[in-house]
Structure 1
C-alpha cells in the first residue's frame, strides 16, 4: 500500500507546528492503535468467521484491512488541519456543521460506549473463567466487571504516556504468551480442520455477516486523533504508526485464526455461539481440544492482556472525546472526575447488569463505525482540501476516496439486513 508522507506548509502553519520535544514514540502510538483493535478481533473473529471458515476469511481480512487503513489515513489528514488536542467533536464541528457534528458525535460516542462495555464484558468473562478453573473460585460476573474496569480506568486517568507504557508492556506480554500458546496450538492443528470439505456455495452466504465484524476488528480509527496529537501532528511519523498498527493487528489475526480453526472443527461453533460466544467459551473450547495445562494458562494470560490493551485504547479515546465535547479541564482532578463520570459510569453499570454481551456489542460497534470511520471522513477530508490545498494529502486521489466511501455504503446496507433479521448467520 502506498502512503504519502510529505507535508507542505505555508509560513504561518509552520510557526504553529509543535516541536519534536515531548512527542510520543511511533512504537507507542502503534501499540495504542493496534491494541485497541486486537482485543475485539482476537476473540470475536473465530465466532464471526465460523461460517466462511479459514481461507475465505483471509481474503476478506486483507481487503477490509486495507480499506480501514485508508480510512485511518484520511482521519489523520483531517486532524492535521486542526489545533493540537482536537478530537472528533472539533473535527466535525469545523467541517460538516452542527447537524453533521451531531450525527458524527453520536456515532463516535455510541461506538466508544459499546466497545468499552464489550471489553468489560470480555474481561470479566476471562476473570470468572480463570478463577473457576484454576482457583475453584466462583466470582459473580458483575463483581468481575467492576474490578476489571476500576483497575484499568485508574491507568487511563494517568494520561496517554502512561497508557503508552502500559500498553507496550501488555503487547510484549501478549507476544510472549501468544507465541507460547501458538507453538502448541499450531503443532496440534490439523489440515482437515483448517481446510474442511465445505463448498464455496455453503460459505458465501455467511460472508456478509463476517464483513461487519472485520470492520470492527480493524476499527482502530477511534484512536487516530489521539495518536496524531500524541505524535505532535507529524504526518510522516503518524502515517508510519498507522501502517505498523494495521500490520500488527493483521498478523495477530492471521495467527490466531490459524490456531483456532486448526484445533476446533466447524461443528463445535454452534454450541459456542449458543453460549453467547464470549471469550471464556473460546478459551474453554481450546482447553478441551487436547492442549496441555501450561498452554491453557498462557491462553488465560494472553486473553486478559488482549482485552486490557483494547480497553485502554478505546477508553482513552472515549475519555479524550468527552473532554473535548464538554471542554473539561483534565489537567485538574475535578475535570478528570467529571470526564470519567460521563464516560465510564454508564458502561460499568451496563456491564454489571448484562455481563455476557461481548459478541452482540461488537456487532453493533460495526454499525456505527461505518459512519465516522468510512463515510464522514471522506466528506471532511474533501472540505479540508478545498480550504487548505497546500497541506498534507493522503495519496490515491478520488479513486481511493470513492473506494472507502462506497465500501461504507455497502457495509451500511449489510448491517440493515442484519438488524432486520434478513442476513444468514451461521449457528443461528
Structure 2
C-alpha cells in the first residue's frame, strides 16, 4: 500500500506538471517573478484544499469513481448535468493542449536539429496512440510508467536547474509587469497549472478508500509541483530576458521555441539534452494523469466493461475528440489553458462545495474535518468565482490576455 501511496502522489504531481511547466515561465515573464510567486502559493493552497474536498466527497459516495457519480447521488440530475459538462470539457481541453504541445515540440525539435519536417497531424496521431496504449492496459500500468517517468523528469530537472542557476541574472527576476492588470489575467492560467482534481476520484478507488493514504497522497502530490515550479521559473526567467520570453509566448509552437531558446542560451550539450527530455517528460506525465481521470469517468458513464475490448472502446471515446481539436486548432496551446480554468473551478471547487453542504445537512455526525469547514469552503468558492470572472474579462478584452 505504501508503494501505491507514492505512485498516487506522483500521478497527482505528474498531472499538474505538464503544460504548466511551459506556461509558467512564459506567464511569469509577463507579470514578473515576485507577483508570480504570490500566485503560485495562492493557487497551491486553493488546489490542495479543493483536492482534499474532492476526495472526501468521493469517499462519502461509495460505488462511484468520479464526481459525475457523486453529483448524481447528492445533487440529483441538475448537479449531474453540470458535472458532466465540466468533467468532459476540462480533461478534453487539457488533453488537446497536451497533444498540441507534444506534437509541436516533436516537430520543432526534429526540424531544428535534424531538418526533418513532419506533418503536424501525423505527430499528433503518434503522440495520442502512444499514450492511449498505456492507459488501455491498466491503471497500474499508468502508475508504473508515471513513477518511472516522474523520477527521470526529476533527474533532468535537477541537472537542468544545476546548469542554469549559476547563470541566473537577478535583474531578470526583478523585471516589472509588461502592463497593468496583467497579474490578474494570469490567475486562471496559474490555477489550471495546479489542476489535478479530476484524477482524485481514480486515486480514491486505487487506494481502497483509505483516508490515511489518500490525504497524504493529495498533499504531497500538490506540493511537489509548487517546489518544482519555483525552481523551474527561477532557472528559466533568470537566464532569458523578458523580451525573449514574451516573443516566445506570442509565437507559434511555444513549447519547442522555449526549449530551443534555452538550448541556444546554454550552448551546452547537457542543457540541450536535459531541456528536451524534461519538456517531453513533463507533457507525458500530465497527459497520462488527466487522460486516466477522463478514461475512468467515461467508463462509468458508458458502462464499458473492464475487458481489453471494453477498455479499447473507452479509449476511442477518450482520445478521438481531443485529437480532432489538436488537428484542427494546432496553435491553441496557451489559450485553451486559461479557458480550462472555468471548467476546473466548477469541477474542483463549485461542485465539491455544494456536495459538502448537502452532506452536512443530511448528517452532521461523522463529518470529516475537511468537509466540516464552511468558512474555508466559502473562501474557496469566492476565489473560484474570481477566477471565472477574470477569465470572462479576458475574453471580453477588459483585461489583457496571457498569450
- Relative to the length of structure 1, the TM-score reads 0.90
- In structure 1, C-alpha distance between the alignment counterparts of 2:318 and 2:225, rounded to whole Å: 26
Measured at CA, do residues 203 and 27 of structure 1 come closer, stay the same or move farther in structure 2, by a change above 3 Å?
A: farther
Contact 2:16 2:195 in 1 (8 A): yes
Deviations 1:308-361 (A, max 9, x none): 0000001111100111111211x1133212212221112112222332321112
Deviation at 1:265?
A: 1.1
Measured at CA, do residues 343 and 314 of structure 1 come closer, stay the same or move farther in structure 2, by a change above 3 Å?
A: same
Question: Does residue 265 of the first structure (1) align with residue 244 of the second (2)?
Answer: no
Say which SS state the counterpart of residue 157 (structure 1) adopts: helix
Contact 2:56 2:371 in 1 (8 A): no
Task: Tell me the residue number matched to 1:342.
Answer: 317
Task: Tell me the residue number matched to 1:213.
Answer: 189
Deviation at 1:243?
A: 0.7
Task: Tell me the residue number matched to 2:105.
Answer: 126
Question: Does residue 320 of the first structure (1) align with residue 296 of the second (2)?
Answer: yes
1:23-42 correspondence to structure 2 within 5 Å: 25-42=4-21
Task: Tell me the residue number matched to 1:157.
Answer: 136
Equivalent position to 1:355, from 306, 311, 330: 330
Question: Does residue 425 of the first structure (1) align with residue 389 of the second (2)?
Answer: no
Contact 1:184 1:291 in 2 (8 A): no
Say which SS state the counterpart of residue 356 (structure 1) adopts: coil
Which segments of 5 or more consecutive residues in structure 1 lack a partner in the other structure?
A: 1-19
1:175-194 correspondence to structure 2 within 5 Å: 175-194=154-173
- In structure 1, C-alpha distance between the alignment counterparts of 2:50 and 2:287, rounded to whole Å: 22
Say which SS state the counterpart of residue 254 (structure 1) adopts: helix
Task: Tell me the residue number matched to 1:17.
Answer: none
Contact 1:24 1:232 in 2 (8 A): no
Task: Tell me the residue number matched to 1:166.
Answer: 145
Measured at CA, do residues 290 and 337 of structure 1 come closer, stay the same or move farther in structure 2, by a change above 3 Å?
A: closer
Question: Does residue 411 of the first structure (1) align with residue 390 of the second (2)?
Answer: no
Deviations 1:39-60 (A, max 9, x none): 0211111222322111110011
Task: Tell me the residue number matched to 1:9.
Answer: none
Question: Does residue 286 of the first structure (1) align with residue 262 of the second (2)?
Answer: yes
Question: Does residue 74 of the first structure (1) align with residue 74 of the second (2)?
Answer: no
Measured at CA, do residues 243 and 112 of structure 1 come closer, stay the same or move farther in structure 2, by a change above 3 Å?
A: same
Deviation at 1:141?
A: 1.5
Equivalent position to 2:284, from 296, 299, 308: 308
Contact 2:136 2:308 in 1 (8 A): no
Of 290-299 and 253-262, more deviation after overlay is shown by 290-299
Say which SS state the counterpart of residue 184 (structure 1) adopts: helix
Contact 2:13 2:224 in 1 (8 A): yes
- In structure 1, C-alpha distance between the alignment counterparts of 2:79 and 2:3, rounded to whole Å: 31
Task: Tell me the residue number matched to 1:46.
Answer: 25
- In structure 1, C-alpha distance between the alignment counterparts of 2:321 and 2:214, rounded to whole Å: 32
Deviation at 1:391?
A: 4.2
- In structure 1, C-alpha distance between the alignment counterparts of 2:372 and 2:16, rounded to whole Å: 25
Aligned-residue Cα RMSD (Å) equals 1.8
Deviation at 1:216?
A: 0.2
Question: Does residue 99 of the first structure (1) align with residue 68 of the second (2)?
Answer: no
Contact 2:17 2:282 in 1 (8 A): yes
- In structure 2, C-alpha distance between the alignment counterparts of 1:388 and 1:80, rounded to whole Å: 15
1:129-144 correspondence to structure 2 within 5 Å: 129-144=108-123
- In structure 1, C-alpha distance between the alignment counterparts of 2:64 and 2:186, rounded to whole Å: 35
Deviations 1:340-392 (A, max 9, x none): 22211121122223323211121221121111111111001111233343143
Q: Which runs of 4+ in 1 moved over 4 A?
A: none
Of 310-319 and 259-268, more deviation after overlay is shown by 259-268
Say which SS state the counterpart of residue 422 (structure 1) adopts: coil
Contact 1:58 1:254 in 2 (8 A): yes
- In structure 2, C-alpha distance between the alignment counterparts of 1:184 and 1:203, rounded to whole Å: 31
Say which SS state the counterpart of residue 17 (structure 2) adopts: helix
- In structure 2, C-alpha distance between the alignment counterparts of 1:192 and 1:348, rounded to whole Å: 41
Equivalent position to 1:235, from 198, 211, 220: 211
- In structure 1, C-alpha distance between the alignment counterparts of 2:377 and 2:161, rounded to whole Å: 38
State the number of aligned residues. Answer: 402
- In structure 2, C-alpha distance between the alignment counterparts of 1:163 and 1:85, rounded to whole Å: 20
- In structure 2, C-alpha distance between the alignment counterparts of 1:128 and 1:148, rounded to whole Å: 11
Deviation at 1:181?
A: 1.2
- In structure 2, C-alpha distance between the alignment counterparts of 1:203 and 1:394, rounded to whole Å: 39
